[in-house]
Amino acid sequence: AQKITQTQPGMFVQEKEAVTLDCTYDTSDPSYGLFWYKQPSSGEMIFLIYQGSYDQQNATEGRYSLNFQKARKSANLVISASQLGDSAMYFCVDQFYFGTGTSLTVIP
Amino acid sequence: ETGVTQSPTHLIKTRGQQVTLRCSSQSGHNTVSWYQQALGQGPQFIFQYYREEENGRGNFPPRFSGLQFPNYSSELNVNALELDDSALYLCASSPRTENEKLFFGSGTQLSVL
């Protein structure tokens, strides 16, 4: 059964601004990990960031960071200083299952 | 370090036929996962293979089957093709079965006519 929920089918952000993409998850496994992947229109799947359930701090990778709230079962992706090349589909993923994705468009 | 490679890149079949898709995992990776991505949708998990054994399966019928070989390369077989099987099939490898990022191939675009 689908365990990942992304409620934003499409998002727009102005270039150089920050944007938050939402993800909630449902698992009874005490040890889990959550991933975010980016899929540009070219189709390749690009790993962005990972958060483990036991990690004490929110994950950060360059302009990408995770707002991880265990009690709310949310793992929102924050992209700072958006660039035109950030326009793509973004997927939140647990071990096997992808969310439905959010299409992000960066406006010049 | 060789990445994940999939073949063929494109394939056209007719309804009722059988198809085999191939995937070579990244060097050092013993786990391969297969996904089906219909146009405009997120990838759907088909199954995962770990050291030649199926390690998990999504909600796909038995006509979707797989193999993993001693060199950890993998095949996805689909029998009795249906029109709805038209999709991008993605293969991903990882060094372990859990909590490891997936390294994806470029996919095989299957069209069923």
Q: Is A100 in contact with B41 (Cβ distance < 8 A)?
A: yes
Q: Contacts of residue A91 in chain B, CB cutoff 8 Å?
A: 42-43
Q: Rounded to whole angstroms, how far apart are CA atoms B90 and B70?
A: 21
Q: Which residues on chain B are in Cβ contact (under 8 Å) with A101?
A: 41-42
Mean pLDDT of chain A, nearest integer? 93
The candidate with the shortest Cα–Cα distance to A76, out of A63, A98, A62, A92, is A92
Q: Which of A35, A52, A97 is nearest residue B45 as measured by Cβ atoms?
A: A97
Beta bridge partners of B23: B6, B74
Interchain contact, B99 vs A33, CB within 8 Å: yes
Whether A72 and A84 have beta carbons less than 8 Å apart is answered as no
- Tokens 């999709």 found at: B87
B88–A44: do the CB atoms touch at under 8 Å? no
| Greater model confidence, B17 or A97 | B17
> Could you count the other beta carbons within 10 Å of the beta carbon of residue B59?
9
CB A101 to CB B42 under 8 A?
yes
Give the confidence band of A40 by pLDDT, cuts at 50, 70, 90: very high
Q: How far is CA A19 from CA A30, A83, B95, in A?
A: 29, 11, 32
Mean pLDDT of chain B: 94
- CA distance, residue A38 to nearest chain B CA (Å): 11
The pLDDT assigned to B63 comes to 98
Strand-pairing partners, residue A34, are A51
* Predicted confidence (pLDDT) per residue in B58-113, tens digit: 999 999 999 999 999 999 999 999 999 999 999 999 987 777 889 999 999 999 99
Look at residue A32 in the predicted model and tell me its pLDDT. Answer: 84
Cα three-residue angle A49-A23-B60, rounded to 5 degrees? 90
- CA dist A26 and A44 (Å) reads 27
CA distance B31 to A33: 17
The pLDDT tens digits of the residues spanning A1-19 come to: 458 999 999 999 999 999 9
| Single-letter code of the amino acid located at A6 | Q
The reply to whether residue A96 touches residue B45, judged by beta carbons under 8 angstroms, is yes
CA B5 to chain centre: 11
